[in-house]
């Protein structure tokens, strides 16, 4: 143990000790041999601190030969900042006391510091008078090195134990825990007293504590590695799952002297495993459902008569389109406008001209979206073969709405054909009719209205309640008075929402701009421009009134973002066109409908018509 100050042992000073009997020559020789052979430095000095004797061990410790050091002051061995120690030692010796086991620092001949432990005792003459002191010095450099290694080892262990992510602990062979790392206390919030021994049970989940304890105690008996998974309560009162392991530590005789254990937080891993199991179950469920659905479609298509392969392939493509939509949304349903675009993709040239789409933003559940998609495919197929789209003049009006009745939101959609050949009700009902009527009835929970009126087929569907909407969809009911169950006015006789409307065209490619302007004028628009720069467009907006605009994002050496910002501020709706993808557009264009080049005229007309008719309506 290191001494910070001198310690001394009393030595009697009165009465004077009796004179020691004279040593024989043999005894003197034996004593000299002991001093010479000692592994400790033995030094004597007078009361002035002058060295009188110096054994071989002293030479080994300090580096001085007897010839060099005898007659010199003991202070040559003492560092400058420790000279006061010699004063205290001499005073203690003169008082007749011994300085015992004093740890200090002394100097080697080469100037290096040597940690030593010294015992200094008074030396008496024949009359008992103190005439000097004897010093026994032990070099404790190795002990200091060992202590420093131990200190470093303990510091490293503490740094490791307290900074690993696991909770760590040690127990005796009986399972009494005597040490926890800092992480344990940080997580549990418990103090040392409450969790020592078997106190760890207090943070175990009551449903798992008995099982985990029995398992641990069994490992203590058998000496086998312990491993278990169970929840532990944190200081916030919440439980998290931990993978716990403990290894027996053996002594040199092979006996278990302690156990070292860790608890690793595996909450997220366990949750992921549970999610994977759920996903595997869901995949299995959906795969079986899909196989059953394909089987049913094949069987029903075959029962419908001829052209099995063609009709089956068409229905598979329709089903695949619905699946693509659902996968892209993470099976969180699909928007009605996306369902329309998917199922009517082969008729995209008619959308906006012969096919009119109108309705608010609605997101349906996966089941409802799939059924609606297949119904739209069958309606479109029949319209192209026998109905309004089988000639050059017929039209289809598709409208959807959210109807509120008795405080419940209900989805409503209608398909109305006009201008086609006279409609004749079919003699028999095939699989197409099954999809249009029965499948949608099952998905939406309400009978479907299917009217084969001579002037055009009318199909109307309404949901029994709001169960067909995705859970996080917030319905905005605009007008529940519109009755979609009745056929609307024929699109041919309805007043155009685009006639005479003024549209600003901004496009830097001259041929594209001219072609776009011509198509818009043919549709009844009054074209302002076209122009190919932001400056020219801004100037036209200063001089003329515009109802809407068509903006190409990338103009020659600039973008139309400043123009888009002005249109937004002025509440002038616009359609964005670009050769890039929609994902690459900036915030200024994110609120407007988007078309990717090359532009399909019918789609451009449809989007302009929609944003002019009602801002809240979906653009398809």
pLDDT in tens, 219-256: 999 999 999 999 999 889 899 999 989 999 999 989 99
**Coil, strand or helix at 508:** coil
C-alpha 330/C-alpha 282 separation (Å) is 13
Parts of the chain belonging to CATH 3.30.450.20: 8-144, 164-265
Tokens of 394: 């017929």
C-alpha distance from residue 243 to each of 20, 166, 265, 420, 479 (Å): 75, 10, 6, 71, 58
C-alpha 579/C-alpha 76 separation (Å) is 92
- Kindly give, in sequence order, each residue whose CB lies less than 8 Å from that of residue 176, ignoring residues fewer than 6 positions away: 196, 197, 198
Of 109-113, 326-330, 451-455, minimum mean pLDDT range: 326-330
Number of CB atoms found within 10 A of residue 527's CB: 17
Q: Is the pLDDT of residue 11 over 50?
A: no
Longest dimension (CA), the chain: 150
- pLDDT given for residue 482 in this prediction: 47
- pLDDT given for residue 494 in this prediction: 37
Give the residue carrying structure tokens 């020592």.
196
CB of 551 closer than 8 Å to CB of 563:
yes
- Kindly give, in sequence order, each residue whose CB lies less than 8 Å from that of residue 275, ignoring residues fewer than 6 positions away: none
CB of 231 closer than 8 Å to CB of 240:
yes
**Burial level of 465, CB count in 10 A (0-12/13-18/19+)?**
middle
C-alpha 558/C-alpha 241 separation (Å) is 56
C-alpha 520/C-alpha 444 separation (Å) is 40
Tokens of 70: 């005898």
**HSE-CB for 521 with a 13 A CA cutoff:** 11
Q: Is cis: bond before 530, omega within 30 of 0?
A: yes
Mean pLDDT, residues 103-123: 93
Nearest by Cα to 486 from 449, 522, 520, 454: 449
Mean pLDDT, residues 265-273: 87
CB of 249 closer than 8 Å to CB of 257:
yes
C-alpha 184/C-alpha 194 separation (Å) is 13
C-alpha 64/C-alpha 477 separation (Å) is 105
CA dihedral 506, 507, 508, 514 (to 10 degrees): -110
CB of 265 closer than 8 Å to CB of 242:
yes
- pLDDT given for residue 82 in this prediction: 93
For 147-161, how does the pLDDT look when each residue is reduced to its tens digit (9 = 90+)?
888 888 888 888 887
**Burial level of 17, CB count in 10 A (0-12/13-18/19+)?**
middle
C-alpha 342/C-alpha 324 separation (Å) is 9
Q: What is the 3-state secondary structure (H, E, C) of 143-190?
A: HHHHHHHHHHHHHHHHHHHHHCCCEEEEECCCCCEEEECHHHHHHHCC
For 164-174, how does the pLDDT look when each residue is reduced to its tens digit (9 = 90+)?
888 888 889 98
For 552-597, how does the pLDDT look when each residue is reduced to its tens digit (9 = 90+)?
888 767 888 999 999 999 999 999 988 777 777 788 888 889 888 7
Nearest by Cα to 463 from 378, 377, 402: 402
**Burial level of 172, CB count in 10 A (0-12/13-18/19+)?**
middle
Q: Is the pLDDT of residue 287 over 90?
A: no
**HSE-CB for 381 with a 13 A CA cutoff:** 20
C-alpha 163/C-alpha 336 separation (Å) is 54
Of 28-32, 391-395, 528-532, minimum mean pLDDT range: 28-32
**How sure is the predictor about 617, in pLDDT bands with cuts at 50, 70 and 90?**
very low
Give the residue carrying structure tokens 């302690």.
258
CATH class of this structure's domain 304-468:
alpha beta
Q: Is the pLDDT of residue 469 over 50?
A: yes
Parts of the chain belonging to CATH 3.30.565.10: 304-468
Give the residue carrying structure tokens 């932001």.
534
- pLDDT given for residue 17 in this prediction: 53
- pLDDT given for residue 618 in this prediction: 38
DSSP 423-440: P---SS--HHHIIIIIIH
Mean pLDDT, residues 360-385: 83
**Coil, strand or helix at 315:** helix
Nearest by Cα to 322 from 164, 153, 439, 243: 439
C-alpha distance from residue 503 to each of 545, 575, 612 (Å): 9, 10, 10
- pLDDT given for residue 114 in this prediction: 92
DSSP assignment letter at 216: H
C-alpha 103/C-alpha 308 separation (Å) is 104
C-alpha 553/C-alpha 597 separation (Å) is 11
- Kindly give, in sequence order, each residue whose CB lies less than 8 Å from that of residue 357, ignoring residues fewer than 6 positions away: 337, 340, 351, 398, 399, 606, 610, 618, 620
Mean pLDDT, rounded, of the chain: 81
| Topology of domain 164-265, CATH | Beta-Lactamase (3.30.450)
Nearest by Cα to 294 from 323, 259, 334: 323
Sign of CA dihedral 337, 338, 342, 348: positive
C-alpha 278/C-alpha 410 separation (Å) is 31
Integer-rounded Cα radius of gyration of the chain: 49
| Topology of domain 502-613, CATH | Rossmann fold (3.40.50)
| Topology of domain 8-144, CATH | Beta-Lactamase (3.30.450)
- pLDDT given for residue 16 in this prediction: 45
Mean pLDDT, residues 375-399: 87
Nearest by Cα to 576 from 614, 549, 612: 549
C-alpha 564/C-alpha 571 separation (Å) is 10
C-alpha 429/C-alpha 311 separation (Å) is 15
C-alpha 331/C-alpha 565 separation (Å) is 35
For 600-613, how does the pLDDT look when each residue is reduced to its tens digit (9 = 90+)?
778 888 888 888 87
Tokens of 239: 């439980």
């Amino acid at each position: 143990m290191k001494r910070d100050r001198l310690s001394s042992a009393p030595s009697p000073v009165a009465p004077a000790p009796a004179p020691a009997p004279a040593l024989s020559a043999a005894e003197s020789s034996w004593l000299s041999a002991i001093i010479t052979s000692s592994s400790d430095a033995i030094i004597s000095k007078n009361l002035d601190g002058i060295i009188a004797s110096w054994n071989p061990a002293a030479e080994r410790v300090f580096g001085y030969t007897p010839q060099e050091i005898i007659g010199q002051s003991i202070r040559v061995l003492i560092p400058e900042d420790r000279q006061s120690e010699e004063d205290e030692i001499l005073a203690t010796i003169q008082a007749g006391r011994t300085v015992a086991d004093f740890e200090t620092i002394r100097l080697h001949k080469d100037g290096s510091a040597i940690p030593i432990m010294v015992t200094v005792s008074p030396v008496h003459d024949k009359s008992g008078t103190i005439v000097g002191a004897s010093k026994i010095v032990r070099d404790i450099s190795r002990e200091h090195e060992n202590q420093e290694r131990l200190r470093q080892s303990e510091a490293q262990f503490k740094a490791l134990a307290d900074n690993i992510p696991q909770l760590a602990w040690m127990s005796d062979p009986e399972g009494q825990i005597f040490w926890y790392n800092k992480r344990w206390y940080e997580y549990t919030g418990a103090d040392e007293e409450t969790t020592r021994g078997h106190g760890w049970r207090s943070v175990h989940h009551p449903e798992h504590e008995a099982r985990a304890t029995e398992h641990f105690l069994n490992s203590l008996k058998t000496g086998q590695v312990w491993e278990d998974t169970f929840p532990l309560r944190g200081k916030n009162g919440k439980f998290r799952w931990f993978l716990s392991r403990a290894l027996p530590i053996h002594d040199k005789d092979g006996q278990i002297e302690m156990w070292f254990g860790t608890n690793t937080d595996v909450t997220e891993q366990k949750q992921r495993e549970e999610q994977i199991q759920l996903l595997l179950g869901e995949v299995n469920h959906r795969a079986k459902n899909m196989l059953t659905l394909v089987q049913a479609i094949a069987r029903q298509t075959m029962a419908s008569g001829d052209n099995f392969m063609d009709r089956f392939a068409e229905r598979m493509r329709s089903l695949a389109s619905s699946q693509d939509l659902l996968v892209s949304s993470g099976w969180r349903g699909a928007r009605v406008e996306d369902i329309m675009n998917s199922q009517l993709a082969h008729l995209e040239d008619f959308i906006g001209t012969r096919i009119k789409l109108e309705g608010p933003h609605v997101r349906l559940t996966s089941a409802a979206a799939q059924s609606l998609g297949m119904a739209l495919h069958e309606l479109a197929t029949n319209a192209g073969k026998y109905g309004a789209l089988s000639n050059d003049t017929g039209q289809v009006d598709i409208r959807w709405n959210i109807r509120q009745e008795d405080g419940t939101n209900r989805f409503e959609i209608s398909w109305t054909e006009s201008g086609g050949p006279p409609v004749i009700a079919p003699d028999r009902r095939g699989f197409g009719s099954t999809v249009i009527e029965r499948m949608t009835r099952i998905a939406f929970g309400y009978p479907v209205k299917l009217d084969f009126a001579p002037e055009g087929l009318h199909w109307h569907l309404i949901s029994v309640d709001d169960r067909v909407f995705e859970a996080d969809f917030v319905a905005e009911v605009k007008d529940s008075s519109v009755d979609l169950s009745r056929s609307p006015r024929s699109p041919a006789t309805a007043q155009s929402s685009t006639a005479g409307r003024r549209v600003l065209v901004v496009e830097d490619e001259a041929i594209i701009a001219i072609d776009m302007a011509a198509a818009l004028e043919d549709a009844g628009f009054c074209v302002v421009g076209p122009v190919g720069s932001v400056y020219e467009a801004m100037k036209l907006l200063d001089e003329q009134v515009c109802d809407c605009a068509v903006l190409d994002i990338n103009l020659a050496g600039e973008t139309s973002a400043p123009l888009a910002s002005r249109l937004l501020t002025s509440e002038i709706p616009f359609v964005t066109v670009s050769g890039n993808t929609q994902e690459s557009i900036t915030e200024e264009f994110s609120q407007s409908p988007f078309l990717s080049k090359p532009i399909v005229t019918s789609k451009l007309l449809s989007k302009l018509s929609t944003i002019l008719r009602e801002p809240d309506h979906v653009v398809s």
